[in-house]
Structures are given as structure tokens and as C-alpha cells.
Chain A
Amino acid sequence: MLGAYLPIIVLVIVAALFGLVSVVMSSIIGQKKPSPVKLQPYECGCEPVGSARERFSIKFYLIAMLFILFDIECVFLYPWAVLYKRLGLFGLAEMGLFIVILFVGYIYVWKKGALEWE
């Protein structure tokens, strides 16, 4: 199995080297004339008001939580899908039940309004 995994490491090294070298080279070659105004955060030419590290909408947390829930479901589905033909009707019933239970949760989330964006 080593033969199949080793090239990935080599490719990662090649890609990382390419990225690093071009970023470092351009920061060496490029001109540098920093000024206080230039280093301000860009806000369409206005003076920036406050920091950007403020509170943001709870919606994003909700989406992240829902993503984790459904992604775990997705992870469960993968081995089942690969073995499906060998599991036969048993597999269908088992996973049918699993998907139905999940779907109930999905409908609950929908009805609670977690998927709405206003």
C-alpha cells in the first residue's frame, strides 16, 4: 500500500514548495513602500470604524452544527453504500430506518426555522 500513498506525500511537497517559493520570491522582488494609510483595512476609502473582530450572526454557527450532524450521517452512508449489494434487503431496511430517523430530524430543523435566512 506504500506505493499508493507515497506519491501523495511527494505531490504535497511539490505543491507546498511551489507556493512557498513563489510567495517568498515575490515578497523579495516586489517593491515595499508601506505607509500608515496604505496599511489600514480597506473600507471603500472611509476611515475604518472599530475592529472587524466583532460578533456575527448566530446563523453561521447553526449551519456549522447542522453540517456536522449531516456530515456524520454522510460518513455512515459511505461504508453502507459500498457494501450495499452484499447486504441485500437487510441493508435496505437498516439504512431506510436510519434515513427515516434522520429525515424526522431534518423536518424538525426545517420547521424550527434553522434553515431560513432573512
Chain B
Amino acid sequence: MDTTILGLPLIYYAAMILKVLVVFVFVLLTVAYATYAERKIIGHMQVRLGPMRTGWHGLLQPIADGVKLFFKEEIVPAQASKFTFLIAPLIALIPAFISFAVIPFGDTVELFGYKIPLQIASVYDTQAGRVLDLNVGVLYILAMASLGVYGIVLAGWSSNNKYSLLGGLRSSAQMISYELAAGLAIVSVFMLSESLSLQKIVADQSNFFSWSGTWYAFKQPLAFILFFICSLAEINRTPFDLPEAESELVSGFCTEYSSMKYAMFFMAEYANMVTVCAVTVTLFLGGWHGPLHPVLNFIVKVYFLIFVCMWIRATYPRYRYDQLMRLGWKVFLPLTLLNIVVTGIVIAAFS
């Protein structure tokens, strides 16, 4: 393997394409079965059975839903801004899927004598003998999370429907408010990790049983809780699903959407949930470190957090909009700033 393209060996390209495809298909399947799991779990929490008809215990339900949406009629309202209306679902979907690029989901594996780190956006530097990944990995995730707002606000505006517009506006205001709090909540983690690279942050949490190497969730419990709640709000999950509040806004920003374009928003929502859970696991819950196989550790932790999201949905009623904004701006924002200051003082006192 001496041939190189742009200074990288051929096996790097093969591994890259393999990693991209495997992760993409994995996230897609997780998204599909998260919809099934959600209906099933909430069903059982409400003493119902959930989907039962398609396949054994409704296991084929996501496929049936997908096929159904695929063959549905596509309606573009007469007064809608056509191009924006068509492009908005894609703008919502793509950032939801590509945030996964910087998340390390396993240790380095060796293939034909070439070391491959299990993280899409990374390469093994043979001269330095370590994994090189995006040194701004967290910023990349935050940037992608903010891009998702565009899809929603454009969808709401272009539909030329009052419910859609209100849903889109509410959603964008909510998302930017909580994005702020989420962004500030994780600052205290970087004060400890001294890096924005997710490889480094995961490496810092390699030893669960010692204080220096334990999970950041124990060192920064407030940041962990704030980040998780703010992320739920940012991706419009219950109890913060105001943009889709069906009792007041029909279906919010996606009222006018049908067929596969509606499915795009639906998938984007669940993909965002998977991403947020993966980010939380990486930043706070030790990433892929744990007792099992690295990849398995990661998947178990992510699935557990997804279950927690569904559990929260079954447990809590929806917030009112003024309560939501008050919580974000008047409670979470000062708390995150306080957490940063306290962390700063504690680090200064112990060094």
C-alpha cells in the first residue's frame, strides 16, 4: 500500500467510505427503530400495547410507515414559496445526520497494518503515533445544531400558513435560546479537558474509578443536567415540543408538509435526538469507555439516553411558552454562568 492520494494511503479512503456508510446506515436504522421504540415504550407506560399488527409485535412498523409515506401524495400549497418549501426539509435533515462525523464511537482498530480510529472525521498520525481528529469538534457540533434552525424557520415561513409561521417562529426563538444555554453549559467541561477535540475529551474519561479519569458527569453534574435538558429543548423534544404543540398549532412548522418531505422533518427530529444523546455520552458519560467492547459500550449508553428521552416524554406535561422562555433565559442562563465561575474558582484554588 504505497500509493497515496493527497498524501493519504488508499486504505484511508476505503476505511473512510466504509465508516461513513456504516455510521449513516446505523443512524438511519436507529432513527427508524427509535420511532417504533417510542410508540412501544410510551404504549406500555400508558398500559397500552403500541403497534402490534405489522410483523411480530409490530416490529415492521417503521418500514410500513416509511413505505406509506413514500407513496403518499405530495402537496405544495398554492401560495407557498416553492423553492424554499422544497429545500427546507433537506436543510433540516442534513445537519441532523452530519453532526455524527466528529463523535468517536470506539477505540482504534488495526486493518492490514494500518490503524483506523473509529471516528469518521479522524486519521491516525503514524509519525506522532496518535489519533488526529477535528480540534474544533465541539464547535462543529454546535454549528450543525444551529443550522437545523434554518430548516424549521424556512419551512414555517415558506408554507404561507399562519400555524406554520407561528410554529416556525416559536421554534427558532426556543432553539436559539436553549442553544445559548447548552453552549454555555459545556464551557466548564473544556476548562477541565483543555481541548475541544472529542478524542481528548473521551480519553480524559478513560478510568471510571479514579477521580482524575472519571466521567465528566461526576465532575460537572450541574453542567451535565443543564446540557441534557437544554439539548432536549433545542431539538424540540417533549416537554419542550412547543413548535409542534398540536393542541394549539395543529402541527406547527410542518402543518403543510406531506409525503416524504414530512418524513424528512420526522427523521431529522429523531436523528437530532440520537445525535444529542451521542454528544452527551461523549462529553459526560465516558464515551466508548466501559466494561464491554468499546463500540458496544457506546451504543448501550446512547440507547439508554434515548430511552430516558422517551421516559421523559411519557412522564412530563408540556411547558407553556412563557414558562419555557423564562426557564431558558432566567434560570438556565445564570446557572450556566455561575457554574463557569465556580469551576474557575475551584480550579484556581486547587492548582
Residues of B within 8 A of A78 (CB): 139, 187, 190, 196
Known: A23-B89, A27-B259. A85 touches B70 (CB 8 A): no
B7 at the interface (CB under 8 A from A): yes
Find B101's partner among A2, A7, A26, A106 (CB 8 Å cutoff): A7
Q: What chain A residues lie within 8 Å of B159 (beta carbons)? A: 41, 52
Q: Closest residue to B140 on the A side, CB-wise?
A: A8
Contact A12–B325 (Cβ < 8 Å): no
Bound-state CA distance A10–B177 (Å) is: 31
Asked if B44 is at the interface of the complex by the 8 Å CB criterion, the answer is: no
A10 to chain B, nearest CB (A): 5
Q: Can you spell out 7 A-B residue pairs with CB atoms less than 8 angstroms apart?
A: A2-B8, A6-B16, A11-B98, A63-B176, A70-B333, A106-B333, A117-B326
Once A84-B191, A96-B341 are accepted as A-B contacts, the answer to whether A74 and B121 lie under 8 Å apart by CB is: no
Mark B153-165 against chain A: 1 for CB-CB distance below 8 A, else 0.
Answer: 0000101111111
Is A25 in contact with chain B by the CB < 8 A criterion? yes
What's the least CB distance linking A106 to chain B, in Å?
7
- Does A39 sit at the interface, judged by CB under 8 A? yes
Q: Which residue from B24, B72, B86, B256 sits with its C-beta under 8 Å from A26?
A: B72
Complex contact B71–A10 (CB within 8 A): no
Q: Is A44 a contact partner of B177 (Cβ separation < 8 A)?
A: no
Q: Check B77 for interface membership: any CB of A closer than 8 A.
A: yes
Q: Which residues of B lie under 8 Å from residue A18 when comparing CB positions? A: 24, 28, 97
Q: Is B211 interfacial (CB 8 A cutoff)?
A: no
Would you call B221 an interface residue if the criterion is a C-beta within 8 Å of the partner chain's C-beta atoms?
Answer: no
Contacts of A4 in B (CB 8 A): 121-123, 132-134
Nearest neighbor of B162 in chain A, beta-carbon distance: A52
Binding site for A on B (CB under 8 A): 6-8, 12, 16-17, 19-21, 23-24, 28, 69-79, 86, 89-90, 93-94, 97-98, 100-102, 120-123, 132-134, 139-140, 157, 159-166, 169, 172-173, 176-177, 179-180, 183-184, 187-188, 190-191, 194-196, 250, 255-256, 259-261, 263-264, 321-322, 325-326, 329-330, 333-334, 337, 340-341, 344-345, 347-348, 351
Partner of A30, one of B74, B86, B321: B74
Given contacts A7-B121, A67-B180, A99-B337, contact A92 B133 (CB under 8 A): no
Residues of A within 8 A of B (CB): 1-8, 10-12, 14-16, 18-20, 22-23, 25-27, 29-34, 36, 38-44, 48, 51-53, 56, 59-60, 63-64, 66-67, 70-71, 74, 77-78, 81-86, 88-89, 91-92, 95-96, 99, 102-103, 106, 110, 115-118
**A-side contacts of B344, CB under 8 Å:** 84, 91-92, 95-96
Q: Are A7 and B264 in contact (CB under 8 A)?
A: no
B183 touches A71 (CB 8 A): yes
In contact, A22 and B12 (Cβ under 8 angstroms):
no
Give complex CA distance A44, B74 in Å: 19
* A1 and B78 contact, Cβ closer than 8 Å, known pairs A7-B19, A11-B97, A11-B101: no
Distance, CA A40 to CA B160, complexed state (A): 10
A38 and B161 form a contact (CB under 8 A): no
Pair A8/B98 contact, Cβ less than 8 Å? yes
A44 to B347, CA, bound (A): 57
What residue of chain A has the Cβ atom nearest to residue B170's Cβ?
A60
| Interface core residue of B123, B188, B263 (most chain A CB under 10 Å) | B123
Given A39-B77, A52-B165, output 12 extra A-B contacts at Cβ < 8 Å.
A3-B12, A4-B133, A7-B120, A8-B101, A41-B162, A59-B173, A60-B169, A77-B184, A82-B194, A84-B347, A92-B348, A110-B330
A16 and B94: CB pair below 8 A? yes
Residue among A6, A38, A52 making CB contact with B75, cutoff 8 Å: A38
Q: What is the bound-complex CA distance between A7 and B340, given in angstroms? A: 33
